[in-house]
Structure 1
């Protein structure tokens, strides 16, 4: 339910605030990301991610690009009336390519990621994923604040790429909040 998702996000925010004294304004530090979103079809997701320091970075004039590995963990919930499991846990690993513009206190960013994940079940409500293994694609945009915090939008898609049918997949629209330390 929504209260469970909000409790998970609140716990992550408390963890982020606890780490704030350790934070400094480095573009290359690791990050903690909180996510909450839905598919618009009675499916919700709340989760946390940990992005490691970049494995690659480059400056393109006023643009800076990075490639970071990310580990993610989330809970998905179905609140509709179809029969089937109402909850599943998802874990995954993603390679995230991100660009941001400028060096100001507030600056825009854009990102895209590819990865793989495992679902604890192969069904969630009316969706039949057929396999526990899922590929993932992500795109997002937002604003960074003081090179330390950021908030934005992320679209994520999970499916098994027709390894086994049916392959309903799931698309999620999410808000994200991150802390770099």
Structure 2
């Protein structure tokens, strides 16, 4: 129930943005897809909602495939199961992120894809979950993933994501997630 309540604000903001005419650029769409993710790992669960904007650039185009990418803006809610400072309590925090993502895909943007990205995230609290601790609000979030875009514009994906501050302040054990993503492309 915690996650349902916590994601209402990001989902409402994304819906309001999509409903506004200014959300679309003169030459096409500014927002190309909306998505939701569930992630689990390192004694923590996360729900995330986000929007993406595709890049128009195509590199290494050959045999019906190319390398391109998209901008990803997201908001998420985390729940840690073993909060260090209060034994047995759960830790709740939020993150806002922005990530450039490279994607290798077919020219028609359907079918299988592989992707990877490194972005920035801001955590609402310092993460302190038993043996896993992040000592700064600012974190890097990197991921690698695979997925499939269906003919009806729905996408299902799976990715491995790692959060860390890059070692500029200790402790920095990092946090790893396995994410399942559902997305709709406009």
The TM-score with structure 2 as length reference comes to 0.77
The runs of 5 or more residues in structure 1 that have no matched partner are: 20-25
The question of whether the paired residues in 2 share the 8 Å contact of 1:30 and 1:180 is answered with yes
The question of whether the paired residues in 2 share the 8 Å contact of 1:69 and 1:94 is answered with yes
Query: CA separation of 1:147/1:67 partners in 2, compared to 1, >3 Å: closer, same or farther?
Result: farther
CA shift, 1:125, in A, is 2.5
CA deviation string 1:3-41 (max 9, x = no partner): 3335649x95xx88xx7xxxxxx9x961112110110x4
- What is aligned with 1:155? 160
- What is aligned with 1:51? 52
CA shift, 1:158, in A, is 0.6
The question of whether the paired residues in 2 share the 8 Å contact of 1:5 and 1:36 is answered with no
Query: CA separation of 1:73/1:29 partners in 2, compared to 1, >3 Å: closer, same or farther?
Result: closer
Measure the CA separation in 2 of the matches of 1:149 and 1:176.
10
CA shift, 1:82, in A, is 3.8
How many residue pairs align between the two structures?
169
1:109 counterpart (95, 113, 124): 113
1:111-130 matched pairs, under 5 angstroms: 111-126=115-130, 127-130=132-135
- Report the aligned-residue RMSD: 3.0
The question of whether the paired residues in 2 share the 8 Å contact of 1:86 and 1:125 is answered with yes
Query: CA separation of 1:164/1:29 partners in 2, compared to 1, >3 Å: closer, same or farther?
Result: closer
Structure with the larger RCO, 1 or 2 (CA within 8 Å, 6+ apart): 1
The runs of 5 or more residues in structure 2 that have no matched partner are: 19-27
1:70-85 matched pairs, under 5 angstroms: 70-80=72-82, 82-84=84-86
The question of whether the paired residues in 2 share the 8 Å contact of 1:56 and 1:68 is answered with no
- What is aligned with 1:68? 70
